[in-house]
Structures are given as structure tokens and as C-alpha cells.
């Protein structure tokens, strides 16, 4: 199914993000800033050839030292609305040498029972009485640097009876080890960047056309890709106020698909130092038949100061010897390999 392939291309199951940082009172934006003054836009070959470079410059501001707190409201499952929503509060901090994140997740309802073989369930998830066993992520902590790229995923275990009775079975931890340089340990940050109108330049190859829409906006069409699994064409609506090149709408058409498989819309305005972005955004992964998977992203706080204390604490935590009851999974270019599986079965 296209939606499932698309979603897991950009979000590997249970991969996390994370760093908790207390934002200092200084250098922090806590509410939507006033919109920048309008600036007339024009279209020329010079503008067109320099457009990708301009987008790249603004994108790179989010690679500088910073701390940002954001919330992602996520449908719990691709399988349908009966699984409910969950909210991920993500606190990301970075220096020029390391990126870290803490994700704390809250669910709006208990797990829902599905009959064996329905709702995407696996027969191995059931016992002889037909009870369903499942886990939910509640806290992720990750650190990515030149010598380490690890994410810890703390999960709560449940037993759900056919009559809907839910029993909590405690918690366990899975530890994911990624190749050095892989962004997957903090994948929510890349979702965040797109949802606030940034991070597009790396997906664009060359500009095919540029059209002025009004005094402050222009439409850009460019060949490109999305993640590693899709090539095609991007259609962007850019806001040109004060040369921000902020993406307000985006659609990606995969090759051979006449309808966009990804749609993005942004709203509001925030700025701090060289950082300029939207305060809220939505990413819709198109599945058809009213099965679109929509992420709602909101900026809560942003600062140009990294949280060195939290970076150090996460390094200490994730570099420590692995407890005996933790499952360790090595994630390479292909499917993950469970190299150590010592956590007890429910």
C-alpha cells in the first residue's frame, strides 16, 4: 500500500528523537512573532538559478546551535481512527557537533482490540485465549554525534482481551543503534523542519518554472525527490517577505502518480537570529479513500542556545553499559537486526 510504504520511508517504526532542555528566559521566542513586512517579488532567470541556493541558506540556519520544543499530534495507527491520536512533545537541542532529542508521548485513549488477522495484527501478538499483546512508546531519548548514534525507546506493555479489557504489564526498553551520520535517530526533527516551511532544498534538484502569484508570493516547480524512496516533482508556494523564502504550501508528485502523495501547509511566523520559520504546519501523507495520514506540528519554544547540560546527560546515559533486560537492535541500511533480545515476553 502506497501510504504504508510512504510513511515507513520517512518514519522507521519506533525510531525516536529527543533532548530535553530547559529554555533560558533570554533568547527565546514563546509566541508568534509579528509578520515581516511585505517585499515585492520578481521573476527572472537570475532569481530562478539562485532560488535553490537561497532556500538552502535559510535551511542551514536550523543546523546551527539551537534548542526547539515542538509538539506533533499523530494518528496512532495507519489502520484507522479507532486507534486514536497521540501527542509527542519533542525537545531538540544541537551544537555543531551533536544533535539530541527527548520525546514524551501521551495517548488519548487505551489500546483497541482487533481480532487475529485483522487491523494489521500479527498472529504472534496473541495468546491461546485470543488476548492481544502490544506496546506503546512513552519516552524516547536519542543522541547523534561523530562517535555515537543511539536512541532509547521506553515502551509500556499492554494485554487487551477480546471484550476490550485492558491490563498494563509494565515497561521495557529497546535500544536502537544507527550508523554514524544517519538522521533516523532524531527523525521527528526532519518532519518538524518541513512542517514549518524549511528543509526542502535538499530534496530539490533543479527548478523547472517560477511564477509570481502576488506581491509577496511565488510558485516554484522543481524536479526532486522525497526521502530515499521517491523521485518526482515538487510544487512549492514561497513567501518572499524580507527574502525569507518560507514555504507556505508544498506538494510532491511521485513519478507516475497524477496526485500528490505528500501535502504540506504552514501558518504563522517565528524568528530568532538567522532562524525564520512558520509557527505551525501540517504534513499529509496521501493514502486515498479518506485514509490520509496527517501530522499537526506546533512550535512551543525556540532558542539559539544549545543545552550543553542535557547533551552531556544523554551522552552519559546512552554510553553506559546496557542493562540485561534491554533489547538492543542494530539498524543498518536495510531492515534492523535484533542483535540482543533479552527483554521478557509479556
Q: Which set of grid coordinates corresponds to residue 107? A: 495517548
Mean pLDDT, rounded, for 86-110: 94
Mean pLDDT, rounded, for 236-261: 89
Inter-CA distances, 264 with 26, 57, 191, 222, Å:
31, 20, 11, 16
pLDDT score, position 337: 45
pLDDT band for 329, please (50, 70, 90 cuts): very high
- What is the DSSP code string of 78-108? TT-GGG-EEEEEEEEEE-SSEEEEEEEEEES
Mean pLDDT, rounded, for 134-163: 94
At residue 154, φ and ψ (nearest 5 deg) are -85, 125
SS3 234: strand
Q: How many CA atoms lie within 13 A of 262 on its CB side?
A: 30
pLDDT score, position 276: 92
From the list 137, 139, 140, 135, the residue with the least C-alpha distance to 169 is: 135
CB atoms < 10 A from the CB of 8, how many?
13
pLDDT digits (tens, 9 = 90+) for 81-93: 556 788 999 999 9
Mean pLDDT, rounded, for 317-341: 75
pLDDT score, position 19: 24
Amino acid at each position: 500500500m502506497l501510504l504504508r510504504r510512504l510513511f515507513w520511508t520517512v518514519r522507521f517504526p519506533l525510531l525516536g528523537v529527543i533532548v530535553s532542555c530547559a529554555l533560558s528566559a533570554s533568547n527565546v521566542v514563546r509566541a508568534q512573532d509579528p509578520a515581516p513586512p511585505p517585499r515585492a517579488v520578481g521573476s527572472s532567470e537570475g532569481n530562478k538559478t539562485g532560488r535553490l541556493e537561497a532556500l538552502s541558506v535559510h535551511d542551514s540556519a536550523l543546523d546551527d546551535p539551537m534548542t526547539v520544543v515542538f509538539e506533533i499530534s499523530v494518528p496512532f495507527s495507519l489502520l484507522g481512527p479507532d486507534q486514536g491520536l497521540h501527542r509527542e512533545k519533542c525537545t531538540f537541542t544541537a551544537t555543531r557537533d551533536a544533535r539530541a532529542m527527548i520525546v514524551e508521548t501521551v495517548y488519548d485513549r487505551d489500546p483497541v482490540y482487533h481480532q487475529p488477522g485483522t487491523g494489521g495484527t500479527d498472529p504472534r501478538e496473541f495468546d491461546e485465549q485470543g488476548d492481544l499483546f502490544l506496546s506503546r512508546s512513552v519516552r524516547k531519548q536519542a543522541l547523534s554525534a561523530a562517535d555515537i548514534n543511539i536512541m532509547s525507546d521506553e515502551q509500556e506493555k499492554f494485554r487487551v482481551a477480546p471484550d476490550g479489557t485492558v491490563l498494563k504489564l509494565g515497561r521495557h526498553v529497546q535500544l536502537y543503534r544507527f550508523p554514524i551520520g544517519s538522521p533516523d535517530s532524531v527523525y521527528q526533527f526532519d518532519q518538524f523542519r518541513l512542517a514549518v516551511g524549511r528543509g526542502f532544498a535538499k530534496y530539490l534538484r533543479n527548478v523547472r518554472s517560477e511564477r509570481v502569484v502576488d506581491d509577496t508570493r511565488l510558485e516554484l516547480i522543481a524536479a526532486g525527490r522525497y526521502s530515499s524512496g521517491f523521485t518526482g516533482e515538487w510544487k512549492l508556494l514561497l513567501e518572499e517577505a524580507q527574502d525569507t523564502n518560507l514555504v507556505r504550501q508544498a506538494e510532491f508528485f511521485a513519478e507516475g502518480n497524477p496526485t500528490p502523495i505528500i501535502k504540506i501547509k504552514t501558518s504563522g511566523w517565528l524568528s530568532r537570529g538567522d532562524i525564520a520559520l512558520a509557527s505551525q504546519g501540517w504534513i499529509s501523507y496521501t493514502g486515498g479513500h479518506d485514509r490520509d495520514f496527517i501530522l499537526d506540528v506546533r512550535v512551543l519554544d525556540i532558542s539559539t542556545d544549545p543545552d550543553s547540560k542535557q547533551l552531556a546527560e544523554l551522552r552519559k546515559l546512552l554510553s553506559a553499559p546496557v542493562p540485561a533486560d534491554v533489547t538492543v537492535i542494530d539498524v543498518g541500511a536495510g531492515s534492523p537486526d535484533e542483535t540482543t533480545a533479552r527483554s521478557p515476553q509479556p
